[in-house]
Every structure is written in C-alpha cells, then in structure tokens.
C-alpha cells in the first residue's frame, strides 16, 4: 500500500529509524544477560503495558493464539509499548500473510509461530516478514511499524524494518522436536521458544514441565540452539527451574500473564487478611 511521502521531523526522527525496539531486543539477546518477558493474554490495555514497563520487563509477549482480542486494543497496547521502549513479540494465530502483516505493521517486532514443525514453515514466515528481495512483505510506511513517522527514504526504511523484525520459532509438538535441528538451523531464525505446556502433553506428561521425558528433549533443543548460536527460551515451572535453565544456557523467558498476576495477588491479599482475622 502506498502512502504520501512526508519526511519525519523532530529531534527523535532520526533515532527512531536507527535504534528501534526490534534491534534493541536483538542487542539484548546478543549480550551476556537473560531477558524476561511479561505475557498479555486478555487485558490488552495501555495501562497494563505501562505497569509491565514500570516492573522492568525486557519485552512483552502477546498471547494472540488462544484468546479473543479487540484489534484496536491490541494496536493501542503495541503502540504504548513502543512509546515506553518495550519490544513486543506476538504469536500469529496462523501462518497466513495477512495475519502476519497486521501484527508487524501495527508495531509488533517479533512474530512467534506456534506449532513450528518444519524448515518450510519458517521460510514461509520469513518471506512474509521481510521486504524484497529477501521476502515478499508489502509496504505500508508511516503507521505503527514506524511509530507513525513517515520515512523520507523508503529504501533505507525497508532495510531498517528488515533489521527490526524478529522471527521466533515455537516448538511444542513431537514433530517440532523431531525436526528441531532443521528448524533451529534455518537462516533467519532469531529466537527459539519451547512451549512446555503443549510440549509436556506431546511427551506424555501433561503439565509436568520438569519430568525427564519433557525436560530431556527440551535440553536437546537447547543444545542445538547453542550449536547454531540461536537464543533459546522457554517458560519455567518456577524460579528454581529457571535458574537451572539459565545455567544450561537459556537466554530468555516468557514468564507470567496478567490474569495469573491478578488472581495470585488477589488470593494472597484475601489469605493475608483471613490469617489476621481468624
């Protein structure tokens, strides 16, 4: 889609093109530390995004596969995250061009593909995410993807957008595990996430993230990531489990969602008051 060409202005115009949230995320992954993401599952509101930013999350992960989301609230939440310097990764609900385009053009930098099972799927996603000649992404500059600044140089902007986009494979099935090396080694993969919930089901131990039959294959995938120099991440059962993953080489975590935080916080408050009144 073509839009009228109006050069970006203002003191932050150049910086926003050079050092966006996607490149910030990649720099963090290339460093020595571990990055931590907060999950949004239902309450797609700028208020929640601000709370996550104040808490210090390194990125926000949008659970956009399993929940119904108002598109305007999703877009507003992504824009709020960008304004607060927090990169956003989102699951695409399906491997489909328009679904990917809507997410990446509203300002999401990382596209996470649930049930990744083959190199062909990864290459298809890469094709949707990158501009020609690397891919076939269609152009719509000056919207959420650039915080509503119109680029004055389309070629430079397109190159920057390709550098901004982050491809996250999501292994959670037995087929994904069996094809893990061809997936992990696909050129263009920036992050590998193993979803322990569905993976534990696939391995015959639903919900038992730390069972040897679950954690063992996950560690095999981690070893492949280390071999191919691709950051590995997961969701740990608890902080102690996370420490073990970090010691083994995990680089990022998708941690907890806002519904769980509200539920746990509310229950603790009630429990605390019951203890002092009984």
Tell me the CA end-to-end span of the chain in Å, nearest whole number.
Answer: 65
Bond from prior residue into 231 cis (ω within 30 degrees of 0) = no
Judged against a pLDDT cut of 80, whether residue 13 lies above it is answered with no
pTM equals 0.91
Structure tokens of 147?
């915080």
The pLDDT confidence band at residue 8, using thresholds 50, 70 and 90, is very low
CA separation, residue 219 to residues 66, 132, 223, 252, 272 (Å):
26, 36, 6, 14, 39
Report the 10 Å Cβ neighbour count for 13: 16
Q: What is the pLDDT of residues 215-251, one digit of tens each?
A: 999 999 999 999 999 999 999 999 999 999 999 999 9
The residue ranges of every structural domain in the chain are: 13-277
Options 3.20.20.60, 3.40.50.170, 3.30.43.10, 3.30.70.100; CATH of 13-277:
3.20.20.60
Q: What is the pLDDT of residues 158-174, one digit of tens each?
A: 999 999 999 999 999 99
**Cα–Cα distance measured from residue 76 to residue 151, given in angstroms and rounded to the nearest whole number:** 21
Please give the DSSP secondary-structure letter assigned to residue 238. Answer: S
Q: What is the pLDDT of residues 71-86, one digit of tens each?
A: 999 999 999 999 999 9
């Amino acid at each position: 889609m073509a839009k009228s060409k109006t050069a970006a202005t203002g003191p932050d115009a150049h910086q926003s093109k050079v050092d966006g949230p996607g490149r910030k995320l990649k720099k963090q992954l290339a460093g020595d530390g571990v990055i931590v993401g907060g999950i949004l599952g239902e309450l797609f509101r700028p208020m929640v995004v601000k709370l996550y930013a104040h808490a210090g999350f390194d990125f926000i992960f949008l659970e956009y596969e399993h929940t119904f989301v108002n598109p305007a609230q999703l877009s507003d939440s992504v824009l709020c995250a960008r304004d607060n310097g927090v990169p956003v990764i989102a699951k695409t609900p399906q491997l489909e061009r328009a679904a990917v385009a809507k997410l990446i053009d509203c300002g999401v930098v990382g596209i996470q593909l649930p049930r990744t099972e083959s190199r062909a799927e990864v290459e298809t996603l890469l094709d949707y995410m990158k501009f020609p000649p690397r891919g076939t992404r269609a152009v719509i500059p000056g919207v959420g993807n650039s915080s509503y600044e119109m680029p004055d140089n389309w070629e430079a902007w397109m190159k920057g957008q390709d550098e901004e986009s982050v491809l996250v494979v999501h292994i959670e099935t037995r087929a994904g595990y069996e094809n893990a090396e061809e997936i992990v080694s696909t050129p263009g993969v920036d992050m590998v996430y193993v979803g322990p919930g569905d993976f534990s089901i696939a391995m015959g131990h639903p919900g038992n993230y730390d069972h040897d039959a679950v954690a063992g294959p996950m560690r095999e995938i981690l070893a492949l990531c280390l071999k191919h120099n691709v950051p590995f991440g997961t969701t740990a059962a608890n902080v102690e489990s996370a420490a073990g993953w970090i010691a083994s080489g995990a680089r990022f975590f998708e941690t907890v969602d806002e519904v769980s935080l509200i539920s746990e916080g509310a229950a603790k408050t009630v429990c605390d008051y019951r203890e002092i009144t009984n």
